[in-house]
Amino acid sequence: MKRLKIVSACIITIMLVWAFTQPSEKYFDIARSLDIFTTLFKEVNAYYVDEVNPKKLIETGINGMLNQLDPYTDYIPEEDLEAFSIQTTGQYAGVGALIGIVNKKTVITNPYVGFPAHRGGVRVGDEIIAVNGQNVQGKPTSEVSALLKGKPNTEVIMEVKRTGQNAPISFKLKREKIKISNITYFDLVDATTGYIKLDEFTPGAAKEVEAALVDLKKRGAQKMILDLRDNLGGSLYEAVNIVNLFIPKGKEVVSTKGKVEEWNKTYNTLNNPIDTEIPLVVLTSSSSASASEIVAGSLQDYDRAVLVGQKTFGKGLVQTTRQLAYNAQLKITTAKYYIPSGRCIQAIDYEHRKIDGSVSKFPDSLKREFKTKSGRKVYDGAGLDPDVVVEAATFSSAVMELVSSGLVFEYATKYCSEHVSPASMKSFRLTDQEYQQFVAWVSDQKFTYTSELDQKADELIASAKREKYYDELQSQFTDLKTRIEQNKNSALTRNKPELSRILEQEIAFHYQLSKGQVEVMLDRDPELTRANQVLSTATEYHKILIAN
């Protein structure tokens, strides 16, 4: 019963955190609901036919409750705090390597540059078979990761299998504090254009961008591209400080407004900028979210940057972490944020759910018009519209399923074990012969996939059977399925342009990590190419930033 009181106290604490600003008339409903929940749980615990796990049952209840809100409001039990801390701070103690499961093998997917695993010679694709003598084959990545982490300056022995080598390789590594860099790549993409790829907004992001900006300007950069594609966001403070690099001190960047008025706040730039004049392009994608949208949106509102790419995700919600009993925490959405034009870019309406519990985007009829500093029209409720749209690449089901199968990763591992790394990945391209070797290898792996045509044909056949037409049309259906299968057999050849680029990127990452992955695409990245075009013509750049 003591355990029961503990979990009940957790529920009460969570509910009160949610309710403490509600009108007084709601308190009776809250107290009654909590009383019902507590007595219900007692009955289940006492009389259910099988033994129940109180902790699991309560957490299921908590998560069920929070699922009615938005996907960013999360319950974090004590045992998950370390993972949450790593996610929000980018810091932990270990060997500095990201691991994952590829075709039932635990492999190194990213040895972070400059940290113990990378310095020790661990490579992308190495299969971890033992840690400190303990066999980890078939173990979940969480268990393997826990074994690799530990106190700084302690040693760990990691044994791996490497493609192309018969004997296992043993690495003795000394753990250290790991701070994952927010910037994965920065360099001059031509004599006068700097490029910064920012992937995270963990503490220190603004300082990293500042250092990269200063370095690139010293090396001759007169134009700048900030790449926020696929950046899911992070710290609001880092977003404000990054905007501050390009706009004057004392300017509003973002304001937050929620139920608790005393928490509402306006965030202004506090420091002197680095450069308020340098022509700037920000690259965006459908996965640019939250802090990325604060940076891109604020710079757009001040007509300080041209946005190039795709419409952003549309996450205009702010989360706050609240301490709960027994070292648990609640990450709860407490406000919406508004960028300088006054717009909130939140695209999903979590407040008004449908009867089935699903949510919808805000309809176009509810979107409102706002103005940038120069008077350009911008809109709320749907993410950020780029100033220059570049359509996102689309891939066939064959390409997507091949990549998700892990076979592209495995072949890249194999390729790198058989070829010496080029000095630079900028000109790396697979020959036609090498691509055909890849196709033959995939065929040997018995790769199969379900295409959209397969699904449509099956739906058509099922419909014909329901309508009693199948017997009459059976031969035509058989011929259709045969033709679809023949079409699938040539999928890798038909999709060669897309697949070869994906494979080249994976090989480049295996060789030279993020640096190689970026460099192999520099001269054929559609968004980057369009950004360079915008920046290369001062007339076009300034015309975009001036209201018609």
**Mean of the per-residue pLDDT values of the chain:** 89
pLDDT of amino acid 415: 96
Helix locations, 156-313, DSSP H: 205-218, 236-244, 291-301
pLDDT of amino acid 90: 73
Question: Strand 280-284 to strand 360-361: parallel, antiparallel, or no bridges (unpaired)?
Answer: unpaired
pLDDT of 13 > 70? The answer is no
Mean pLDDT of 491-496: 90
pLDDT of amino acid 25: 64
Task: Indicate which residue of 199, 301, 303, 380 is catalytic.
Answer: 301
Q: What is the pLDDT of residues 389-437, one digit of tens each?
A: 999 988 988 899 999 999 999 999 999 999 999 989 999 999 999 999 9
Q: Are 384 and 296 in contact (CB under 8 A)?
A: yes
pLDDT of 351 > 90? The answer is no
Decide which of 489 and 41 is more confident. Answer: 41
- Determine the residue type at 414: K
Rounded to the nearest 10°, the torsion over CA 425, 427, 430, 433 is -140
Mean pLDDT of 361-388: 88
The 3 state secondary structure assigned to 264-275 is: CEEEECCCCCCC
Is residue 198 classed exposed, middle or buried when 0-12, 13-18 and 19+ CB atoms within 10 A define those classes?
Answer: buried
What percent of the chain is predicted at pLDDT more than 90? 64
Mean pLDDT of 237-256: 97
pLDDT of amino acid 1: 44
What six digits make up the tokens of 83? Answer: 């993972």
Mean pLDDT of 307-327: 92
Question: Strand 127-131 to strand 134-135: parallel, antiparallel, or no bridges (unpaired)?
Answer: antiparallel
Q: What angle separates helix 2-19 from helix 54-66, to the nearest 10 degrees?
A: 10
pLDDT band at 23 (very low <50, low <70, confident <90, very high): low
Q: Which of 112-121, 194-203, 378-387 has the lowest mean pLDDT?
A: 378-387
Q: Please give the full DSSP string across 352-375, using - where no structure is assigned.
A: S--TTS--EEPPGGG--EEE-TT-
CA distances from 157 to 119, 121, 138, 170, 257 (A): 14, 13, 18, 7, 50
> Measured at the alpha carbon of residue 35, what is the angle toward residues 34 and 37, in degrees to the nearest 5?
60
Highest mean pLDDT (candidates 79-83, 319-323, 476-480):
319-323
pLDDT band at 479 (very low <50, low <70, confident <90, very high): confident
pLDDT band at 19 (very low <50, low <70, confident <90, very high): very low
Catalytic residue flag (residue 354):
no
Q: Are 188 and 195 in contact (CB under 8 A)?
A: yes
pLDDT of 16 > 80? The answer is no
Q: Which residues in 82-202 belong to E strands, given as ranges?
A: 91-94, 97-102, 105-111, 127-131, 134-135, 155-161, 169-174, 176-179, 183-190, 193-198
* Alpha carbons 154 and 478: distance in angstroms, whole number: 64
pLDDT of 14 > 60? The answer is no
Task: Indicate which residue of 181, 255, 290, 514 is catalytic.
Answer: 290
pLDDT band at 349 (very low <50, low <70, confident <90, very high): confident
pLDDT of 268 > 60? The answer is yes
Give the three-class secondary structure for 113.
Answer: coil
Mean pLDDT of 32-47: 90
Half-sphere exposure of 142 (CA within 13 A, CB side): 4
Give the three-class secondary structure for 478.
Answer: helix
Fold classified for 183-322+334-392: 2-enoyl-CoA Hydratase; Chain A, domain 1 (3.90.226)
Domain coordinates in residue numbering, the chain: 2-68, 91-179, 183-322+334-392, 393-548
Give the three-class secondary structure for 377.
Answer: strand
* Alpha carbons 197 and 185: distance in angstroms, whole number: 5
pLDDT of amino acid 4: 46
pLDDT of amino acid 18: 47
* Alpha carbons 364 and 282: distance in angstroms, whole number: 25
Fold classified for 91-179: Pdz3 Domain (2.30.42)
pLDDT of 8 > 90? The answer is no
pLDDT of amino acid 20: 47
- The reply to whether 183-322+334-392 shares the fold of 91-179 is no
Can you say whether the dihedral through the CA atoms of 176, 177, 183, 186 is positive or negative? negative
* Alpha carbons 287 and 285: distance in angstroms, whole number: 5
Give the three-class secondary structure for 85.
Answer: helix
pLDDT of 152 > 60? The answer is yes
CA distances from 184 to 208, 209, 228, 517, 519 (A): 10, 11, 11, 10, 12
Give the three-class secondary structure for 170.
Answer: strand
Mean pLDDT of 486-507: 90
Q: What is the pLDDT of residues 214-231, one digit of tens each?
A: 999 999 999 999 999 999
Mean pLDDT of 334-342: 94
Give the three-class secondary structure for 335.
Answer: strand
Catalytic residue flag (residue 161):
no
Is residue 536 within a helix (H) or strand (E), and if so which, with residue range? helix 526-536
pLDDT of 2 > 50? The answer is no
Catalytic residue flag (residue 301):
yes
pLDDT of amino acid 448: 85
Helix locations, 92-139, DSSP H: 116-120
Decide which of 94 and 358 is more confident. Answer: 94
pLDDT of amino acid 481: 81
Task: Indicate which residue of 161, 197, 311, 315 is catalytic.
Answer: 315
Task: Read off φ and ψ for residue 502, nearest 5 degrees.
Answer: -65, -45
pLDDT of amino acid 32: 87
* Alpha carbons 97 and 124: distance in angstroms, whole number: 9
Helix locations, 128-198, DSSP H: 141-148
> For the chain, first and last CA: distance in Å?
70
